[in-house]
Structure 1
């Protein structure tokens, strides 16, 4: 009996991913800091105003810091949705004497207009109600309520959310996962599920899904890659990497680095420090940009590789399967990926290495069939 009740209760729960404790705490810290800082700035700007901060910002912070990937949490939704709701709420408060009717109509109209402008933001419903039930302080403001505190609160909280989420490495606002080189589908999409396929399925849906089309594409493609791995023989990065790697030293003179580029005809080279620890990557275009700045007195101090290199490098481990590298070579047009073990550069995998390995896997599958 108890088991059946527990099973029934589970049907009421959302099918939602539970984040690790550390991530949950960071979401809470983000809301704490975001609300505190935006509230303080609002108070400094509107200190003599009774309605200097509004409660719906608490609901907005849940979206901005707990689920920033949600389409409902994007900056457009936050600012435009709250502004529309405030405008409708103030108008209804002025023209509809009965408060129950006023806030009911305000929320209904706000939903329709937000969905029409693609700015749906659930906390905005509370903004509309606040405009009606906020008391004399809000009523005295009239349409100024839209600009302060609503727009001021929204912009401040949104600005901190952008800073905080990016500080944690979360992409916010969400950006479309599209082919940056042309309007065509990406190379992987051409031979698998395409964006237009997902669009057609979503158009048949009769309800709004709280996930962006771009995230849905990414999830489907990554799931497909995992499925494809199960049908392929496994090569590791160690199996196909080149062990003799041409490198630059961090303290090398930039002129000498250019000479090395000329010798090998490569577009980028890894940069190592003591004990062959990988410390960065220098692309040929960065050397070209350095030459363009040569006449600028401010850039005269740049003489060594470490001063113009990119310290952020995508690397792989020697025991990783080569399928992990496909998105970098296909979607992001990488030419080389360093192989690192204990922070030391031990090899390099080129696009040619990948083509040779995948070609071998194709032959393997043909023979197996």
Structure 2
């Protein structure tokens, strides 16, 4: 009886540790290059533009978005609609909560994240880093709070669009990756890749 239980647990542990950690070096290289270029481009733009309103272009939630759009491109949460819609909607909700409830209140942060989740669910744009985008609008510090509604446009919309463009380029450079996972854009890219191999 004990032996059977031990063998079963061993199989489960082996499956989790072995199957889930198989390496695909080529996939990791493309993920690295995409994330490096996406975040690097945002950081470079932030360093170049020194105007007070434009100095914040790189926010923490873009790091989490990079994990999805470069490392987990098959995820429904990584698709363009979710990336752009989730961030923008969450930013609007976050700024609204900050404006209405104040940045110093604990419930402004709680409302911002909770309402962002509900908003993303209703609009079918669930993007987990969007919760962080809403939270940053409330607790991001004096510079973020001073931006007010500009926070939605810059850094959120512009930053998400930059990540999307880099993801569209890097995730479609090889035949092994396709981003977005469905849609007209992907079909066009695949046809061109197949036509190039046929010549």
Q: Which whole-Å deviations, capped at 9, do the CAs of 1:215-258 have from their partners, x for residues lacking one?
A: xxxxxxxxxxxxxxxxxxxxxxxxxxxxxxxxxxxxxxxxxxxx
- Whichever of the two has the greater Rg, that structure is 1
The CA distance in 2 between the partners of 1:48 and 1:83, in whole Å, is 21
1:349-364 paired onto structure 2 within 5 Å: none
Does the aligned pair in 1 maintain the 2:83–2:160 contact within 8 Å?
yes
**Are residues 1:56 and 2:61 paired?**
yes
Deviations 1:329-367 (A, max 9, x none): xxxxxxxxxxxxxxxxxxxxxxxxxxxxxxxxxxxxxxx
Aligned residues: 182
Contact 1:39 1:153 in 2 (8 A): no
Tell me which of the two structures has the higher relative contact order, counting C-alpha pairs closer than 8 angstroms and 6 or more residues apart: 2
* Structure 1 residue aligned with 2:137: 131
Aligned to 1:112: 118
TM-score relative to the length of structure 1: 0.44
- Distance in 2 (CA, whole Å) between partners of 1:176 and 1:152 is 23
Q: Verify: 1:70 aligned to 2:75, yes or no.
A: yes
**Does 2:165 correspond to 1:159?**
yes
Aligned partner of 2:91 among 86, 109, 131: 86
Within the alignment, does 1:175 sit opposite 2:178 as a pair?
Answer: no
Question: Conserved in 1, the CA contact under 8 Å of 2:74 and 2:181?
Answer: yes
| CA distance in 2: counterparts of 1:311 and 1:172, whole angstroms | 19
Distance between the aligned counterparts of 2:42 and 2:149, measured in 1?
21
Deviations along 1:291-313, whole A, 9 cap, x unmatched?
xxxxxxxxxxxxxxxxxxx5422
Correspondent of 1:122 among 109, 128, 148: 128
**TM-score, structure 2 length as denominator?**
0.79
Give the superposition deviation at 1:93.
1.1
How far off is 1:47 after superposition? 4.8
Give me the whole-angstrom Cα distance separating, in 1, the residues matched to 2:129 and 2:166.
18
Distance (whole Å) between structure 1 residues aligned to residue 41 and residue 57 of structure 2: 13
Contact 2:94 / 2:113 at 8 angstroms: preserved in 1? yes
Q: Between Structure 1 and Structure 2, which shows a larger proportion of helix residues?
A: 2
Rounded Cα–Cα distance in structure 2 between residues aligned with 1:117 and 1:58: 23
Partner of 1:10: 13
How far apart, in 1, do the equivalents of 2:134 and 2:24 lie?
Answer: 35
Residue 44 of structure 2 corresponds to: 40
Q: 1:29 aligns with which of 9, 30, 33?
A: 33
In structure 2, the CA distance between the partners of 1:17 and 1:8, relative to structure 1 (3 Å rule), is: closer
Gaps of 5+ in 1: 181-280, 282-309, 315-369
- Counterpart-to-counterpart distance in 1, 2:93 and 2:43: 24
Q: Residue 92 of structure 2 aligns to a residue in which SS?
A: helix
Contact 1:79 1:155 in 2 (8 A): yes
With over 3 angstroms needed to count, the CA separation of the structure-2 counterparts of 1:311 and 1:168, relative to structure 1, is closer
- 1:56 is displaced (CA, Å) by 0.6
SS at match of 1:157: helix
**Which residue matches 1:313?**
198
Instruction: Report how far residue 24 of structure 1 moved.
Output: 1.9
Structure 1 pair 165/41, CA: closer, same or farther in 2 (3 Å)? same
- CA–CA separation in structure 2 for the residues paired with 1:18 and 1:115: 32
- SS for the counterpart of 1:18 is coil
